[in-house]
Structure 1
Amino acid sequence: MEKKRRILVVDDNPVNIRLIKTILEKEGYDTVSATDGPAAIETARAESPDLVLMDIFMGEMSGLDACRLIKEEKETGDIPVIFVTANTDDAVLQKAFESGGSDYVRKPINRVELISRIRSVLTQRMLVEKIVEHEKLQGVLEMAGAVCHEMNQPLQAVTWATELLLGEIPEEDHLFTAVRDITRNIEKIGTITRKLQGITRYKTMKYVGDMKIIDIERASSR
């Protein structure tokens, strides 16, 4: 089941927020809201919405400035912003797009226009995400293929050598246990290389700090 898309609604007029949220929730979207620019930035960080609907003209901080700051941050920079405005002069719209906006809808809100523009922007975002994921996967596949190719021959040689040693060393000898442990660890490495060869999707997990590494278990079909 596809997860609900979450939309952040930003307007300094609570009536406008209620109106837009009612429309969106009837269409099946989850909504969160903020009543000014700083709150919009904080909510975008905390909630990671799929899209932001932002009024341009607000008191403490304009929607243009809030959008610019959202776009500058690593965590929120990919979130698309649609502006809501009663002023559709060319100069205003140019500033809206220059600040990072993806589209705009006019006030008073028209339900059909609002939903159409939201669907269009979300579809564009989904396509971009798929392209990025495909490019990442291609890079991972190329690297995994190279690693497996370079490791297979040395692994086979070490496996053959340890099996030969196990056949020569008496089981009661302490070296037998050590060589057997080496053999088991070589088998584990072989399993990992097979999983690398079976990677079919791009999945990561947290490693140290902000660093992420490929989650081989989730990324591999083997």
Structure 2
Amino acid sequence: MKKILVIDDYPDNVFLIQDRLEQEGFEVIKAYDGLMGIQKAIEEKPDLILLDIMMPGISGYEVCKTLTTREETKQIPIILLTALTEAENLKEGLQAGAFDYIKKPFNKTELIARINSALRFSETNKFLIEIEKIKTFAATVTTANHEIKQPLTLINLSTAAIRRELAKENFSKEAIIKRIEFIEKAANDIIKVLEKLGSIKKPVITPYVNNLHIVDLEADLGNKEV
């Protein structure tokens, strides 16, 4: 069951909207001012928010800006409920991050149609985000495998060489030290790769081979949070 948060300072409006939404099978969460609305959005994680613009204290515009900039609520679509019809008012709401708006008074058919449209968009967006996460994960694994395989091979060869040297009756200390230096360099190379991967906040994915992709470890700092 989809959860919809209704934020409106008039209880009668909330009751009317709640009645209509529950008839359509939605679960309704209620808030009667901006601060309560923000708190409920954070706590309840609704699938959609119906937000009145004209409220005392914190306006709907401010609530919208707050919710669309917070990490935990920015993906929740917001539909503004407004009696304002001036283009500038509507523009301000959309610039604040709202997905859509409905002019008051509205009918049930329009309300439900716009809600379903916003929910479909949200589900598609979530799906695309998950696909992007999977792509990034796969590219990260490929990158790690590509960048770390050579130093790991060097470590294996060096340890094998040390074992062979130690098996000799008169082993060479210099030869062992040289192999240890190879191991130390390879270990440092691996650490550097892992540090680069860990520092990237906005990965740049580039083609590799056989339809595989890797993370560009040399991407400009402009693509990273520093």
Question: Normalized against structure 2, the TM-score is what?
Answer: 0.63
> Is 1:136 the counterpart of 2:133 in the alignment?
yes
The residue aligned with 1:19 is: 16
* 1:15-164 correspondence runs (5 A): 15-147=12-144
RMSD of Structure 2 on Structure 1 (CA): 2.6
Pairs aligned (count): 160
> Is 1:7 the counterpart of 2:1 in the alignment?
no
The SS at the match of 1:104 is strand
Aligned amino acid, residue 88 of structure 1 = T
The SS at the match of 2:73 is coil
Aligned amino acid, residue 99 of structure 1 = A
Question: 2:66 & 2:53 partners in 1: Cα distance?
Answer: 14
Structure 1 gaps of 5+ residues are 162-222
- Higher Cα Rg, which structure: 2
The residue aligned with 1:205 is: none
Question: 2:51 & 2:8 partners in 1: Cα distance?
Answer: 6
Question: 1:14 & 1:67 partners in 2: Cα distance?
Answer: 20
The SS at the match of 1:60 is coil
Q: Percent identity?
A: 37
Aligned amino acid, residue 122 of structure 1 = L
Aligned amino acid, residue 79 of structure 2 = I
| Residue 144 of structure 1, CA deviation | 2.7
Question: Normalized against structure 1, the TM-score is what?
Answer: 0.64
Aligned amino acid, residue 97 of structure 1 = L
| Residue 57 of structure 1, CA deviation | 0.3
